[in-house]
Structure 1
Amino acid sequence: MYDVTIIGAGVAGIFAAHALMEAAPGLRVLVADKGKPPRERSCPLERGGSCQCDGCEAYIGFGGLGRSEGKYNFTTDFGGELEALLGERLAMERMDEVDRILCLYGAGEAVPYRTHSSSLAARAEAGGLKLLGSTVRHLGTRLSRQVLDGFYEALSAWADFSFQTEVVSLDRESGGFSLLLSDGRTLSSKKVFLATGRSGAGWLEQMLPTLGLEAEQTRLDLGIRLEMAGGQLDSILQETFETKLRYDGDGFSATTYCMNPSGRIIRKHQEGLVMADGQNFKEQGSKSSNLNFTLFVPRLFPTLQDADACARQVLGKVNRGGDRLAVQRLDDLRSGRSTSLEGIRSNRIRPSIEADPGNLAEELPELYVRAAMEFLAALERLLGERLDGDTLLYALDGKFYAPRLAVDCRFQTEAEGLYAIGDCSGSTHSLSQAAASGIHAARSALGLS
């Protein structure tokens, strides 16, 4: 019998395992994941191939999504509900632990930076915006993979790992849980940590009825990605490399996401859909003359199926069965006219990605266009100047979430001994908060403060 079985080797799962290793090295722990070890993970898109994997290599396997750019935002202003569950002080202490562990494996090479400025916060508030602050340690892909390699070397010398393994069934039994694995093994575990992330949302929904649990609401973020002249935001980026702003409108809120000064826009493949994502200049090897970010508008749906149906409807309309994205000039959107191919060719702000020119008001639900226009009006008040009419708006970016599960302040579900950590809990949405939830659940399971 295992003392703890962790299902999922993303950041929540591996930080939970690391916390168990440090606090109770005598435990018998299994980590099972449907993906591969770190050095065997390989996304075909990175090699110029097509997106045809049975399980997305960008999301499953050791390190999960942390294998990509490795951007850790240490804050409770955004990224999940850790503060609501633990309180501000303990939430930040757990994220400090995340940073300490990262630095054990070489993350200190990436110098942290802050995105908060008191003077900017006051100016933003006067313009109708809220500045969200964070301390950021941005590893980048190369360093992130190096850190995960060291992480795996340490953990695999202590815990049992079972890769390319799915949990077929998970049932409660006297003294713990019984698990049937896809390789035919049946095993028992005193405690189980669910750490399957967003990519395991469908699997988790199938497991819940036998555990006596029910999923709650599911969040979905969709939003327009903007690309503007690199110097457009200089007056608010003088003190910080990037910024995160929230606008609260009538019946919605809109928040900037993944701001990339000198970056470019790339295609992101997820859930069979194609989205406009951003890439930091450090990842592309050279700087562009543009800045880009997404303006996400979150919505809540009764079920995972409802959220997925909305995403397929909205993004699918843009994609048209392929990898199509749409783009429009800001002046054209303001004037209610479509952007032409000639308009893109003569645009002073050069697009960093190929997209079909058109009219976003005809491509998207009114909510996302209205949110963008109201946010941009507030941004102009903050800047004290009008935004360049050649600014480009792309349809569409998206961020998917797992259904929320009821957990207590230990991340334990209503089933004793069963913990839901990281994004599969529906309570964390960032690498840092997911990792912190794993550490906190591990220490709680051991009865430690």
Structure 2
Amino acid sequence: MNPMYDVVILGCGEAGIFAAYELARLHPDLKITALDQGRDIYHRSCPIVAGKVKECIHCPVCDTMCGFGGAGAFSDGKFNFTTQFGGWLTDFMDAREVMELIDYVDSINVAHGATTECFSTSTPEARALERRALAYDLHLLQARCKHLGTENNLRILQNIYEGLKDKLEFRFNTPVTHIAREGEDFRLTLGKGEELSCRWLIAAPGRSGAEWFAEECKGLGIHLINNQVDIGVRVELPAQVFEHITDVVYESKLVYRTKGYGDQVRTFCMNPYGHVVAENVEGINTVNGHSYA
């Protein structure tokens, strides 16, 4: 007989963590387990970051991408408070409701150790920066931005994990290989052949599990749509070159529309006084930027 749960959360990245947080808060009577192919927040360690190797050795499970906290665990913890970029939630919800949820998530982070300091595009200095950008046909998107710092981001996630670990079951080093319907329930096959069942399944596999999850959706008859992908180039420059921007808004989203084809390009992911790290996304090497508080 397969173990039966009320809810299984597939993936312990930010989406899975906050799903677990809300369920544990609102429905403490539910039997919940959260699964992730990576390790817990205390045992994640990239061999490059640890100085054991000089370049990516393509670990079977990338510690930078997988485990409690997902790809965000070792990021610099930038949170943008806006509906102008960052996704299409406003296609499904009212913009005011989206902002209320963003502020609510921030309040949870603050309760677990996040800073309350915030940068804003509405200050006089930011308005002056916006006018200067317009002279070059660059448009500054409006947002508040909070920088937690790579080291603080990890500590906040550890605090959240400590608050959750006794309220639900976490299973790490536990890949899921197959999702099947079983009447009104779901049956999951795990990496070592074990199976478990649940009434509700929250699937949040993140980037590392995106290709696998797409194939599982097809098998379940779930209609898929194509999502756009932003292609970026990371450029390292002396921090002083962008200090007039980063000291004012920390991260700017400056949009430019090309004259020839009308394509939109923008700046993103500034990491002043930070460093570039490699990420392994299903065998594709990408780069990210970290910056300590």
TM tier relative to shorter chain? 0.7 to 0.9
2:209 pairs, out of 197, 200, 205, with 200
1:71 pairs, out of 64, 78, 96, with 78
CA distance in 2, matches of 1:148, 1:236: 29
Q: What does residue range 40-439 of structure 1 map to in structure 2 within 5 Å?
A: 40-50=43-53, 51-52=56-57, 53-68=59-74, 69-108=76-115, 111-116=117-122, 117-228=126-237, 230-233=239-242, 239-249=248-258, 250-261=261-272, 263=273, 266-271=276-281, 272-275=283-286, 277-280=288-291, 282=292
Larger Rg: 1
The answer to whether the 8 A contact 2:145-2:249 is kept is: no
Distance 1:130 1:13, change over 3 A: same
The answer to whether the 8 A contact 2:251-2:268 is kept is: no
Letter in 2 for 1:129: L
What TM-score comes out, normalization by structure 1 length? 0.58
Distance 1:60 1:276, change over 3 A: closer
Q: Report the 3-state secondary structure (helix = DSSP H, G, I; strand = E; otherwise coil) of the residue aligned with 1:208.
A: helix
* Deviation for aligned residue 1:126: 4.8
Distance 1:104 1:122, change over 3 A: same
CA distance in 2, matches of 1:177, 1:275: 34
Letter in 2 for 1:244: K
List per-residue Cα deviations over 1:209-228 (Å, max 9, x = no partner).
22101432143332333444
The number of residue pairs the alignment matches comes to: 280
The answer to whether the 8 A contact 1:30-1:161 is kept is: yes
Percent of aligned pairs sharing the same letter: 37
Q: Report the 3-state secondary structure (helix = DSSP H, G, I; strand = E; otherwise coil) of the residue aligned with 2:150.
A: helix
Match of 1:309 in 2: none
162-171 vs 270-279, which deviates more? 270-279
Distance 1:187 1:264, change over 3 A: closer
CA distance in 2, matches of 1:185, 1:276: 35
The answer to whether the 8 A contact 2:250-2:270 is kept is: no
The answer to whether the 8 A contact 2:145-2:251 is kept is: no
CA distance in 1, matches of 2:52, 2:9: 32
Match of 2:17 in 1: 14
The answer to whether the 8 A contact 1:267-1:274 is kept is: no
Q: Report the 3-state secondary structure (helix = DSSP H, G, I; strand = E; otherwise coil) of the residue aligned with 2:232.
A: strand
Distance 1:131 1:187, change over 3 A: same
Distance 1:196 1:83, change over 3 A: same
The answer to whether the 8 A contact 1:169-1:207 is kept is: yes
The answer to whether the 8 A contact 1:115-1:241 is kept is: no
Letter in 1 for 2:231: L
Distance 1:123 1:34, change over 3 A: same
More helix by share: 1
Superposition RMSD on alpha carbons, in Å? Answer: 2.3
CA distance in 2, matches of 1:279, 1:131: 23
CA distance in 2, matches of 1:238, 1:166: 42
The answer to whether the 8 A contact 2:121-2:127 is kept is: no
Distance 1:32 1:149, change over 3 A: same
The answer to whether the 8 A contact 2:119-2:248 is kept is: no
Gaps of 5+ in 2: none
What TM-score comes out, normalization by structure 2 length? 0.86
The answer to whether the 8 A contact 1:179-1:186 is kept is: yes
The answer to whether the 8 A contact 2:278-2:285 is kept is: yes
* Deviation for aligned residue 1:259: 1.7
Q: Report the 3-state secondary structure (helix = DSSP H, G, I; strand = E; otherwise coil) of the residue aligned with 2:9.
A: strand
* Higher relative contact order structure (alpha carbons within 8 Å, sequence separation ≥ 6): 2
Gaps of 5+ in 1: 284-449
CA distance in 1, matches of 2:245, 2:10: 43
The answer to whether the 8 A contact 1:74-1:136 is kept is: yes
Letter in 2 for 1:100: S
Distance 1:264 1:26, change over 3 A: closer
CA distance in 2, matches of 1:47, 1:182: 27
Letter in 1 for 2:204: A
CA distance in 1, matches of 2:114, 2:158: 12
Distance 1:195 1:274, change over 3 A: closer
List per-residue Cα deviations over 1:341-395 (Å, max 9, x = no partner).
xxxxxxxxxxxxxxxxxxxxxxxxxxxxxxxxxxxxxxxxxxxxxxxxxxxxxxx
Match of 1:326 in 2: none
CA distance in 2, matches of 1:232, 1:6: 44
